[in-house]
């Protein structure tokens, strides 16, 4: 940690601050010049809250040099984390392909889609039961009934199921019924939810918040891991920018960044990132090429009548072509496809 | 609602879509030219989900002309909403001044600050008991003990108390103990929490999300109001932009925008918006001048040793000067101060 | 300047880098710990290009502690700069009010508006002759003829004239004919233009770029000042964010930031910031309250038929009311109005 | 074009506006309901300036349905534009690879790098002679001497040269000496420069502005094309967002967007987008996979001593590996490499 002092800070004030910091067990190394007065802190700085130091009126800025996340940090866990879900490995050599509809609508729908995407190369099934919608008047999902239908689709196909949780009170049911629990972008900093999910032992798919920095995203993973659950899968799904042509701006640079900073697997959601079905294919290819561990793609058998997000859903036949188009790129970057 | 069709859409397809729409009870008016094919929908469009229409592959775009929020909309509720809290009116002529520390730290601290801010012009007391922190390792607040201390401060001063809730499971306690329940920026789209707060009859202080548009913010108010609770106070606290000198960018244009679009009161938080204590004064003045109904300001008796956000907290004496400096501006825009 | 080294950098590499840096005349102070290896540079670091140091593969990051701007920096020029234009002082006690149409359209138009705004309190006249338009097919201004009309309006009213320059080849004419030369947001980093304007002795009104940080904006001022022209007036006009309700997001926190970092005067353009005429009044008030040195406001006698930006222009009568509404706020913050 | 009227607009006012619009040669189709009043304009709307219509106080909003760019629009020019430069085709089947140093530093440097990148697969040589730098005190390039050295490198290798222009006064020299004239991100809306380049017949490499929407970027291409020069190559180089880990956020969704909206070739600059040399490789792969027509990559033989941007430059050997790694991805998406 580096503390930059204001120009002209009195020697006496520097000593007072130094003593306070040393009391927390670190060694304080001053570098004092006419235009630069800094304190370099060496040792275990984890007990020092930078915002508290910044409250000191002689302090210009506090810069942390080490990343604030520990358990999610590759530095302390150099090998890649591989999350196992009913025999499938997320974060290993095999590309993870999660596919399915925006929301579960009926037994026929979810089973039909599950069978089609499985046949074409999906390794997990997605489907929303609880839907976070901007409007209270929009379709909110089939809720618990949706979970039951997902279970039937799992039974019919063997595909593990991924679905989104919206509140802590549902954790018990999700822990029992769901294979991978998804935390949506809007809940990425719902810290109570994160902590409580950290006390389960289920894999968590943590989507990046709409305006979350990479560091904040990893801090949210840390919230889950701090409670003992290290089965976290990250998911880039686009960030909010000034561009309005696409719903969000897919940040593919986040993939190599995460790979450098963390050992956690990271997948990409091209459907939500762009909000346009015809953009899914090129961006899915791009995601595999930059090194993502997998994709999560919205597939619907009848997008025009989908109860939500039909404009970004592709049909099963298009999904099939996508899988074939992706295969040589996967090979080029050293990955394998399930089929 | 306006539906823009793709150029070259077949007559037959237009008719099919028209029938589907008419079946939902609206009248469909086509405007068809060589370079423009639109359908203008007249009537009650509330049963039509625009994202579903967009899923139609002949549809280029859907534009809603009426705002999607109803209960929060000034069009259907022209007069200003005034929220009453223990005799104080928020959204009326009196400027609401909410002041207090980032977090409740001890009985002495919170009572001392409450007394000082009351004496200098505050009309409500703020203080965090449950603190949403980016890091799981940072101080998370005194939680239920913090609520107890806030109640003591209320008893000592008569100031109504405002504090943040983080999860639905705490609603019962908050409903009983707290005067205004705050929903933080990171929970602005925690829809489960919003709906459940909508079933209470407590005033809700709804902060704008870090990357929320004004429309999304009002839709979140709508979530609360849709359940029957119309006691919503909005709070602008800065949005996330590329600028790094300030923690966030305070969007003061949002104040006149909200005043035009909605009847709900709206206040400004200059402390979180800037993250710098010396910016609180000019931006508080600016907020009053643009027409905000009030301010929420962090005040701490010992910022340098505050357990959180000391760098953005002002001392009680500075708060006192701020109240005096604001008074003539409040007068200039037709407002009154409590003192 | 602080250089953060990568963890595990060899002693030998540190020494090599240290020597390179010392060769440039600075003293290098190492702070080396297990998790922190930094070099604190004391002395004249102006000869060290931080991006070059960052190219060293052992360097994690370079942080500059001192701001990179010199002549624009308040640290080296503590007293406020006051720019004089034909007897009016910009940056002093008097609030500067620049008003006029988006573009000069005819002699009658510009003289009529000039007379009206002068009568109601404007101290300078604005009017576009060369118009930067997003589309090559939109009205581009009357160009040199527009300049002639502005001169006539100046003659008729005595108001100094402010107008935008778009290319270096026009500097000679502008230097001769114009009182304040405006550099538009889109040219804020047109460095050739800035340098050449730096070689004139005319006041320059430098608008903030749409996505410029405060530091970059001051660096653009520095480009002008580095060539010897210290007559720079800054103008905040909104930045680009995800919010679409307003054309841009007016960043009023930039005003106190500039006042702290620099000695240059700074004014606010509420018309371009919001793109909505009815928002000009509240935001103009807000701008004065936060401490801006003045305003630049679009006024048109017939906004509905204006050749550009009519939707953000106010009529002279509304401008007159605005001047009256602003007066008590100006007084409250220690400013004077011309009328 | 669609004009949305304010609710409650008088019949008389609608008729007045209709007449004004019809006078410009369009047919006006009203759709009037209780909550919706729109005018659909059919015919040649090119003479109607939407901002002027918006200035009408009865108008809520104007929406253009057709894109505002014509010559850059794929609708009017369905086949891909292929730009030929000394026998190389940009926008065809062959992947364009532009490589070279941030700035030309010496004859030895530029010739050595040119030979190395050519041997490893580059098809054009880049190198900055005029450098737009944020600071007036930073190295500004060798300017005209730099151009001479580029010519020598072209002579030595046969590689066509690409370099950035900063002001209209240099067009004559660039037209004579340079093969592809680059317009940098900061000059994307330097409309005078664009128009004057439109009067040359040289290929123009137009970088996307830091906060430019895709539509604005294409409008800037239109500025060049409106003057008769249709040899425009677009270059995505990252946009400015709140994320600070990377210098900019590379927007790879812009590639399929451009391919749909326009017929112009589009390439990607992973070096400037990320500002980190180790990110060039994954993002270059991603760019090829999403369908870019080529890459522009910074390559330096001694990044640690480069006069600018060394931290984002890769060494020739890394560039060689990159070319080999990209080859199978290029094949997968139907492209060919030069080598």
The answer as to whether C181 is a domain residue is yes
Domain assignment present for residue A25? The answer is yes
Residue C293: count other Cβ atoms within 10 Å of its Cβ. 29
CATH at residue C276: 3.20.20.70
- D154 with D19, same domain: the answer is no
Residues A81 and A31 in one domain: no
Question: What residues form DSSP beta bridges with B40?
Answer: B2, B29
Residue B232 phi/psi, 5-degree rounding, is: -115, 130
Q: pLDDT tens digit string along C64-94?
A: 887 889 999 999 999 999 999 999 999 999 9
| pLDDT at residue C96 in the model | 98
Residue B233, token pair as written in the block:
């106070």
pLDDT at position C303 is: 86
Would the CB atoms of D289 and A329 count as touching at under 8 Å?
Answer: yes
Q: How close B35 gets to chain D, by Cα (Å)? A: 7
Length, in residues, of chain A = 339
For residues C199 and B75, the model is more confident at C199
Q: What DSSP state is assigned to residue A306? A: -
pLDDT at D225: 98
> Nearest CA of chain D to the CA of C305: how many Å?
7
C282-324 pLDDT, tens digit per residue, is 999 999 999 999 999 999 998 888 887 788 999 999 999 999 9
Domain range for B55 is 2-63
User: For residue range B158-197, what is the model confidence (pLDDT) as tens digits?
Assistant: 999 999 999 999 999 999 999 999 999 999 999 999 999 9
| Residues D134-155, mean pLDDT to the nearest whole number | 96
pLDDT surpasses 80 at A35: no
Q: Is A189 on the interface with B (CB under 8 A)?
A: yes
Q: Label residue A37 by pLDDT band (50, 70, 90).
A: confident
Say how many residues make up chain B. Answer: 339
Per-residue pLDDT at D307: 81
> Treating both helix axes as pointing N-terminal to C-terminal, what angle do B277-290 and B316-332 enclose, rounded to 10 degrees?
20
The number of beta carbons lying within 10 Å of the beta carbon of residue C272 is: 22
Task: Please say which residue of C36, C63, C90 terminates a domain.
Answer: C63
Q: Which DSSP state fits D216? A: H
Nearest to B31 among D34, D42, D242 (CB): D42
Closest listed residue to residue B51, CA positions, set B63, B37, B35: B63
Residues in a beta bridge with A27: A42
Domain membership flag for residue A78: yes
Does residue B337 fall inside a structural domain?
Answer: no
Q: Count structural domains, chain D.
A: 2
- Closest in A251, A253, A285 to D289, CB measured: A285
Q: Which of B22, B43, B63 is a domain's end point? A: B63
As a whole number, mean pLDDT of residues A21-32 equals 90
Residue with the bigger pLDDT between A339 and D96: it is D96
Same domain, B165 and B49: no
Report yes or no: A249 and A238 within 8 Å, Cβ to Cβ: yes
pLDDT of residue B73: 96
B103 shares a domain with B53: no
Residues of chain A with pLDDT > 90: what percent?
Answer: 81
State how far the alpha carbon of D215 is from the alpha carbons of B241, B332, D69, D222, D258, in Å: 21, 43, 8, 10, 9
pLDDT at C37: 87
> pLDDT tens-digit profile of A181-236?
999 999 999 999 999 999 999 999 999 999 999 999 999 999 999 999 999 999 99
Residue pLDDT, tens place only, D48-61: 888 788 888 899 88
pLDDT digits (tens, 9 = 90+) for D252-263: 999 999 999 999
Coil vs helix vs strand at C208:
coil
Whether A44 has a pLDDT exceeding 90, the answer reads no
CATH code, domain with D51: 3.30.70.1140
Q: Number of A:C CB contacts under 8 A?
A: 69
Q: Is the pLDDT of residue A34 over 80?
A: no
D338 in any annotated domain: no
Instruction: Tell me whether residue B101 is in a domain.
Output: yes
Q: Are residues A32 and A100 in the same domain?
A: no
The pLDDT score that the predictor gives to residue D47 is 80
Place of tokens 């994690």: C60
Answer yes or no: do D165 and D35 share one domain. Answer: no
By the 10 Å C-beta count (0-12 exposed, 13-18 middle, 19+ buried), A80 is classed as middle
Question: What average pLDDT does range B285-314 have in this prediction?
Answer: 92
CA distance C93 to chain D (A): 32
Q: Are residues A243 and A322 in the same domain?
A: yes
The average confidence (pLDDT) of chain A is 94
- Tell me the pLDDT band of B6, cut-offs 50, 70 and 90: confident
- Domain end marker among C42, C63, C84: C63
Cβ <8 Å between C290 and B278 = no
| pLDDT per position as a tens digit, B125-168 | 999 999 999 999 999 999 999 999 999 999 999 999 999 999 99
Contact of B68 with chain A, judged by CB distance below 8 Å, is answered with yes
C53 in the same domain as C88: no
What CA–CA distance (Å, rounded) separates B69 from A137? Answer: 9
Three-state secondary structure call for residue A327: helix
Residues A52 and A165 in one domain: no
Q: What is the pLDDT of residues D85-95, one digit of tens each?
A: 999 999 999 99
What confidence category does residue B21 fall into, taking pLDDT thresholds of 50, 70 and 90? very high
Residue C192 is assigned to a structural domain of this protein: yes
Q: Are strands B266-268 and B294-298 parallel, antiparallel or unpaired?
A: parallel
Among A331, A335, A309, residue whose Cα is nearest residue A128: A309
The bridge status of strand D204-207 relative to strand C96-100 is unpaired
Chain-chain contact of A290 with D283 (C-beta, under 8 angstroms) = yes
Q: What is the pLDDT of residue C188?
A: 98
Q: What is the pLDDT of residue C308?
A: 79
In this prediction, what percent of chain D has a pLDDT beyond 70? 100
Pairing of strands D294-298, A294-298: unpaired
Tens of pLDDT, residue by residue over A54-65, are 888 899 888 888
What confidence category does residue A42 fall into, taking pLDDT thresholds of 50, 70 and 90?
confident
Nearest alpha-carbon partner for B42 in C335, D32, D339, D51? D32
Contact criterion met (CB below 8 Å) for D283 and D267: no
Give yes or no: residues D209 and D146 share one domain: yes
User: Is residue C338 in some structural domain?
Assistant: no
**Predicted local distance difference test score (pLDDT) of residue D324:** 97
Please say if the pLDDT value at position A273 is more than 90: yes
Encoded tokens for C56? 């060293």
CB contact under 8 A, B211 and C329: no
**Is the Cβ of A139 closer than 8 Å to some Cβ of chain B?**
yes
Q: In Å, how far are A64, C10, D276, D299, D315 from C59, measured between CA atoms? A: 15, 12, 12, 19, 17
Ramachandran quadrant class, A318 (left: phi over 0; alpha: psi -120 to 50; beta: rest): alpha
Q: Enter the ipTM.
A: 0.94
- The answer to whether the Cα torsion of D325, D327, D329, D332 is positive or negative is negative
> What's phi and psi for B47, nearest 5 deg?
-90, 0
Determine how β-strand B204-207 pairs with β-strand B2-5.
unpaired
In this structure, are residues A214 and A258 in contact, taking their beta carbons and an 8 Å threshold? yes
B74/C contact by beta carbon, under 8 A: no
List pLDDT tens digits, range B232-257: 999 999 999 999 999 999 999 999 99
B68 shares contact with chain C (CB less than 8 Å): no
- Retrieve residue C154's tokens: 């100046």
- pLDDT at res. C130: 97
Cβ neighbours of D56 (radius 10 Å):
22
pLDDT the model gives residue A249 = 98
Distance separating alpha carbons of residues D48 and D62, to the nearest angstrom: 11
A31 shares its domain with A95: no
Q: How far is CA C292 from CA C257, C259, C296, in A?
A: 11, 9, 11
DSSP string, C80-144: PP-EEETTEEETSSBPEEEEE-SB---HHHHHHHHHHHHHHT-SEEE-BSS---SSTTS----TH
A104 in the same domain as A204: yes
Average pLDDT on C200-216 reads: 97
């Amino acid at each position: 940690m580096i503390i930059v002092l204001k120009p002209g800070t009195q020697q006496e004030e520097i000593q007072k601050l130094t003593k306070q910091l040393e009391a927390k067990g670190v060694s304080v190394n001053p570098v004092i010049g006419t235009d630069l007065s800094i304190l370099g802190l060496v040792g275990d700085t984890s007990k020092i809250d930078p915002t508290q130091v910044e409250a000191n009126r002689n302090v210009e800025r506090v810069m942390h040099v080490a990343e604030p996340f520990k358990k999610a940090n590759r530095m302390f866990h150099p090998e890649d984390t591989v999350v196992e879900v009913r025999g499938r490995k997320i974060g290993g050599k095999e590309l993870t392909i999660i596919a399915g509809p925006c929301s579960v609508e009926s037994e026929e729908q979810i089973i039909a889609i599950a069978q089609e995407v499985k046949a074409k190369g999906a390794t997990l099934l997605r489907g929303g039961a609880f839907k976070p919608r901007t409007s209270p008047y929009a379709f909110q999902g089939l809720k618990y009934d949706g979970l039951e239908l997902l279970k039937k689709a799992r039974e019919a196909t063997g595909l593990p199921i991924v679905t989104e949780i919206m509140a802590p009170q549902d954790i018990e049911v999700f822990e029992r019924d769901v294979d991978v629990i998804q935390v949506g972008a809007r809940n990425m900093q719902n810290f109570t939810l994160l902590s409580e999910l950290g006390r389960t032992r289920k894999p968590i798919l943590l989507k990046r918040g709409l305006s979350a920095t990479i560091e904040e995203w990893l801090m949210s993973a840390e919230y889950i891991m701090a409670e003992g659950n290290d089965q976290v899968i990250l998911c880039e799904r686009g960030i909010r920018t000034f561009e309005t042509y696409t719903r969000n701006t897919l940040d593919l640079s986040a993939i190599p960044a995460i790979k450098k900073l963390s050992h956690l697997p990271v997948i990409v959601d091209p459907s939500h990132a762009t909000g346009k079905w015809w953009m899914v294919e090129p961006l899915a290819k791009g995601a595999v090429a930059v090194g993502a561990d997998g994709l999560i793609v919205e597939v619907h058998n009848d997008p025009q009548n989908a109860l939500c997000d039909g404009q970004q859903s592709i049909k099963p036949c298009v999904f099939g072509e996508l899988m074939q188009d992706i295969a040589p790129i996967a090979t080029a970057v050293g990955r394998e496809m399930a089929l």
